[in-house]
Amino acid sequence: MYTRYLHHPGISKIQYKTFFHMCRMRNISFDLEQRQGSTFMLQDCLQSGLLAMMTIGEYRIDCLKLMCDTFKFIEELAGNTALIQQDKMIGSGPNDARTDEIDASDVVSAVRLI
């Protein structure tokens, strides 16, 4: 399962070293021998808050479980996107809101629905 666009504003506050260290601590990784697990692909620098993510498993349910676990990890590390989005909307005017941005909470909701 591949998510090519995951924008989370909270990720921009995390340093590379901390992000990947926490991945190792929480066992968010790809096992080369078993050929399954989760991996992140940086679309830009981490400070842009933009990631791509891929999970590989033997069965579809394995991929979905890995994806949900990884989303949970991101929310714990960078914050809940729904709350961040509400704070951003409260403080911005009508001309400041972007309309071409896909929020990470929308992606998470769609995957959890599957």
13 neighbors 74 (Cβ within 8 angstroms): no
55 neighbors 70 (Cβ within 8 angstroms): yes
Q: What's the pLDDT tens digit per position in 45-80?
A: 777 778 888 999 999 999 989 988 888 888 888 887
Retrieve residue 114's tokens: 């599957």
Domain boundaries, given as residue ranges, for the chain: 2-89+99-113
- DSSP 8-state class, residue 58: S
Q: How far apart are CA 75 and CA 83, in angstroms?
A: 11
Q: How far apart are CA 67 and CA 85, in angstroms?
A: 21
Predicted pLDDT at 89: 46
Give the global pTM: 0.68
Predicted pLDDT at 82: 55
45 neighbors 69 (Cβ within 8 angstroms): no
Between 44 and 98, name the one with better pLDDT: 44
Predicted pLDDT at 58: 92
